Amino acid sequence: MLNTLKKLALGAIVPLAVLAALPASAEIREHQLKFASANNKGHPQVTGMEKFVELIKEKSGGKIDVKLFPGGVLGGDVQTVSALQGGVIEMTVLNAGILASNVKQFGAVDLPFLFNSGEEADKVMDGAFGTGLMDLLPDAGLVGLGYWELGFRNLTNNRHPVTKLEDISGLKIRTIQSPIPIELFNSLGANAVPLPYTELYTALETGTVDGQENPAANILNAKFYEVQKYMTVTRHQYNPQIVLISKKVWDGLNDEEKAVFQSAATEARDYQRKVSREVDAKAIEDIKATGMEVNELSPEETQKLRDAVKPLIDKFAAEIGPETVTALFKELETIRGK
């Protein structure tokens, strides 16, 4: 009799234990969301978004439906952030440094020549520093779900080859709408012109600007090689991207739904970074194949660029907050074993 009771008890307990281990799909409600970005289909950013959609559909049992709006069709990055704050658009992914106008500490990730590799950036952004930045976002009406990658930025122009610092002087260079990139190119002797990414191709085509700076994957994906003759591998800045969800939307989710969003964003992050690095490794050869002239800076010339922008780092450290910049460099020293 005792054994029978034990079996009956176990029979009751096992299904409950199994249920406890499964996602509480009964708690996940139906949602439809818009996920916007500036890059076009085929870019690693959008490939990551597609992976996110696939994962969230799977993890929610098909209840959460995320529609993608790539190519800037819902507006440029700055406009999209405002739409997230208002709850008009639910999600976006963009360069983390653009958020400096909302949370000044995000300006730290825009500092030039900061990271030596994407893997080094991962450790900083996935660690205490990057998490600390995301903790500041809810006060600005935003919630961060993790960091993806845009990559190392390189310079292109339509006037002449750039093989030394002096060649940059006088060029009208489009930059992202963020204070550090603007001052970075002004300090190198260029005339920085901040523009939304959605307006860049036309600005290059019409000669409104002479050049621009973006990772190789962007140069390919946006077909800038059609309106630019020269590229220089400067790797002057690395862009971590951040996946954002509107705080208004986030606050309306229950714990099970939030866990699904976070899990999908994290898995998509690892996939997106892998794709981004594979594309970047191949992109420069693909750009050469289009007929663009691609130049590499010598170590001496790269050092001249680094020296030229050092005053910028000191200036912006005061604006970003010395404690934030100090924490960032300490984290880098720890990672590098110094």
Cα–Cα distance for residue pair 65/282, rounded to 1 Å: 33
Asked if the domains at 31-104+112-150+239-281 and 154-237+283-336 fall in one CATH topology, the answer is yes
236 Cα distance to chain centroid: 16
The pLDDT value given to residue 177: 86
For domain 31-104+112-150+239-281, the CATH architecture is: 3-Layer(aba) Sandwich (3.40)
Judged against a pLDDT cut of 60, whether residue 17 lies above it is answered with no
Cα–Cα distance for residue pair 158/212, rounded to 1 Å: 10
The confidence band for 10, taking pLDDT boundaries of 50, 70 and 90, is very low
The answer to which of 9-23, 66-80, 302-316 has the lowest mean pLDDT is 9-23
Question: Starting at the edge strand that comes first in sequence, how are the strands of the sheet with 172-175 ordered?
Answer: 191-194, 172-175, 211-214, 154-157, 230-233, 293-296
> What is the pTM (predicted TM-score) of this model?
0.86
The pLDDT value given to residue 16: 32
Could you tell me the residue ranges of all domains in the chain? 31-104+112-150+239-281, 154-237+283-336
Q: Is residue 224 within 8 Å of 154, Cβ to Cβ?
A: no
For domain 154-237+283-336, the CATH architecture is: 3-Layer(aba) Sandwich (3.40)
Encode pLDDT of 100-141 as tens digits: 999 999 999 999 999 999 999 999 999 999 999 999 999 999
Cα–Cα distance for residue pair 301/318, rounded to 1 Å: 28
Q: Which two tokens stand for residue 15?
A: 């299904």
